[in-house]
């Protein structure tokens, strides 16, 4: 072979290899970003003559020089190489990538096409849409970098109300998670998030009882308390949305039924042990610390007003504090009945919780334990903490120096 012919053939082989490498690169890019590329030789074996000499048979392989191989042989080599690279890439990224499937326990067609958004810690978002599958509606995110994600999703309540809720999920592999709009299935963190989203008033009701797995908490107020800092200074209203006030009464978890709950003090954080009046303030902190950490984390400070003595031992001043855990005042329980017991200053600065104005309206429903449970209000003439006696009468005689302990707190 002449030197010029040999040189020309080398140039052709280099050109063929360059085209081959470029083609593989293009297909890998398509496979990586689209995930649907199929490399295959699909020319039928019914060609004849010069055509088959160029295209080759379906199962041709490169047995010698790549540049002189048939088209099908080149395609088959490329498919083998692409599959090998894809398998290697898959093994390389497997420790870093997971998948997420989210679903709602509903077959309502209203979910079809509803958008779900997942956002990673850096603020990057992906969207998916609910489709009918496996007897419910679900959405899949088949390729997510492992880590924590915030999920924003729609939930359809009874009566057709749609709320937009948020939850968190940690993608550690192949994760399947149910989405809730049911207050009684939510975690405490999800309940707090629904408050932050301003949605919980759409599906929580006075008298509902929720659980953190250790204790239960009955809703006594919705958007009645005002969030504050630890000193009692009110927060700007732009800093919060819904506020849920709850009280551990030991009641069974479940929806309100139009009446007061069946309380059980032995199932509350403090149990059936009485507290001395002189120890009320110092006992609030250990009470709070008995709550599970997940519950402590969702509790915020709210402003509380209590009548206090001035230098002339007259209840004409008001003590304003920020509290995460607090006893109820006389008016918060009895409403207008409290005007004859607490100071007028305190009365004018407080309100009645809806649980006691709407549901717990009988003596029996307010008689929580041992006929006597303590309030934070100070009796105007006796200077002692007031208490609820027999469910109907606030302390007028100072007979008790101790009583049952039923603090409350707020989630927002």
Comparing 2-11, 46-55, 305-314, the range with the smallest average pLDDT is 2-11
Average pLDDT over residues 54-71: 83
Residue with more model confidence, 370 or 259: 259
The pLDDT of residue 93: 66
Comparing 174-178, 217-221, 224-228, 333-337, the range with the smallest average pLDDT is 333-337
Asked whether the predicted pLDDT for residue 323 surpasses 70, the reply is yes
pLDDT tens-digit series, residues 157-208: 877 789 999 999 999 999 999 999 889 999 999 999 999 999 999 999 999 9
pTM of the model: 0.75
Per-residue tokens: 16? 């063929």
Asked whether the predicted pLDDT for residue 29 surpasses 50, the reply is no
Do 248 and 282 meet the contact criterion of CB atoms below 8 Å apart? no
Average pLDDT over residues 62-89: 83
The pLDDT of residue 396: 58
**Phi, psi dihedral angles at 200 (to 5 degrees):** -65, -25
For residue 370, give the 3-state DSSP assignment.
Answer: coil
Comparing 47-56, 142-151, 280-289, the range with the smallest average pLDDT is 47-56
Rounded to the nearest integer, the mean pLDDT of the chain is 86
Positive or negative: CA dihedral 364, 367, 369, 372: negative
**Phi, psi dihedral angles at 394 (to 5 degrees):** -80, 145
The pLDDT of residue 158: 75
Domain boundaries, the chain: 3-94, 96-201, 209-411
Asked whether the predicted pLDDT for residue 280 surpasses 50, the reply is yes
Asked whether the predicted pLDDT for residue 263 surpasses 80, the reply is yes
State the burial class of residue 97 (Cβ atoms within 10 Å of its Cβ: 0-12, 13-18, 19+).
middle
Please, which pLDDT band fits residue 296 given cuts at 50, 70 and 90?
A: very high
Residue with more model confidence, 134 or 73: 134
Do 170 and 148 meet the contact criterion of CB atoms below 8 Å apart? yes
pLDDT tens-digit series, residues 380-407: 777 788 889 888 877 655 677 889 999 9
pLDDT tens-digit series, residues 95-149: 899 999 999 999 899 999 999 999 999 999 999 999 999 999 999 999 999 999 9
For residue 223, give the 3-state DSSP assignment.
Answer: coil
Q: Could you identify the residue written with the tokens 């309502």?
A: 108
Per cent of the chain over pLDDT 70 is 83
Per-residue tokens: 255? 């929806």
CATH second-level architecture of 96-201? Sandwich (2.60)
Helices 71-93 & 3-33 angle (0-180, nearest 10): 40
pLDDT tens-digit series, residues 228-246: 999 999 999 999 999 999 9
Residue with more model confidence, 75 or 326: 326
The pLDDT of residue 4: 54
């Amino acid at each position: 072979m002449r030197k010029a012919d040999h040189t020309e053939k080398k140039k052709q082989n280099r050109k063929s290899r360059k085209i081959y490498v470029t083609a593989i690169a293009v297909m890998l890019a398509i496979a990586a970003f689209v995930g649907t590329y199929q490399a295959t030789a699909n020319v039928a074996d019914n060609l004849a003559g010069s055509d088959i000499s160029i295209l080759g048979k379906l199962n041709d392989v490169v047995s010698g020089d790549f540049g002189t191989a048939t088209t099908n042989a080149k395609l088959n080599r490329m498919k083998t190489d692409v599959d090998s690279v894809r398998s290697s890439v898959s093994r390389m990224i497997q420790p870093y990538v997971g998948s997420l499937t989210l679903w709602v326990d509903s077959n309502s067609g209203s979910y079809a096409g509803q958008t779900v958004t997942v956002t990673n810690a850096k603020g990057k978002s992906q969207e998916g849409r609910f489709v009918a599958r496996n007897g419910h509606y679900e959405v899949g995110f088949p390729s997510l970098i492992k880590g924590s994600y915030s999920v924003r999703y729609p939930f359809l309540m009874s009566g057709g109300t749609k709320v937009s809720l948020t939850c968190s999920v940690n993608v550690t592999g192949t994760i399947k998670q149910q989405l809730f709009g049911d207050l009684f299935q939510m975690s405490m963190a999800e309940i707090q998030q629904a408050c932050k989203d301003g949605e919980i008033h759409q599906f929580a009701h006075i008298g509902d009882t929720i659980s953190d797995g250790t204790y239960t908490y009955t809703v006594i107020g919705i958007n009645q308390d005002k969030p504050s800092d630890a000193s009692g200074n009110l927060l700007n209203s732009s800093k919060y949305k819904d506020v849920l006030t709850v009280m551990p009464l030991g009641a069974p978890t479940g929806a309100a039924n139009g009446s007061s709950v069946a309380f059980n003090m032995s199932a509350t954080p403090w149990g059936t042990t009485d507290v001395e009046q002189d120890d009320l303030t110092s006992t609030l902190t250990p009470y709070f610390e008995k709550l599970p950490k997940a519950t402590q984390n969702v509790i915020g400070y709210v402003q509380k007003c209590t009548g206090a003595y001035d230098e002339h031992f007259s209840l004409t001043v008001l003590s304003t504090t920020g509290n995460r855990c607090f006893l109820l005042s006389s008016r918060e329980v009895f409403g207008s009945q409290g005007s004859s017991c607490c100071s007028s200053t305190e009365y004018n600065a407080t309100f009645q919780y809806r649980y006691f104005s709407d549901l717990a309206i009988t003596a029996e429903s307010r008689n929580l334990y041992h006929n006597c449970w303590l309030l934070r209000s100070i009796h105007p003439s006796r200077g002692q903490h007031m208490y609820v006696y027999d469910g109907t009468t606030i302390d007028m005689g100072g007979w008790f120096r101790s009583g049952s302990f039923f603090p409350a707190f707020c989630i927002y």
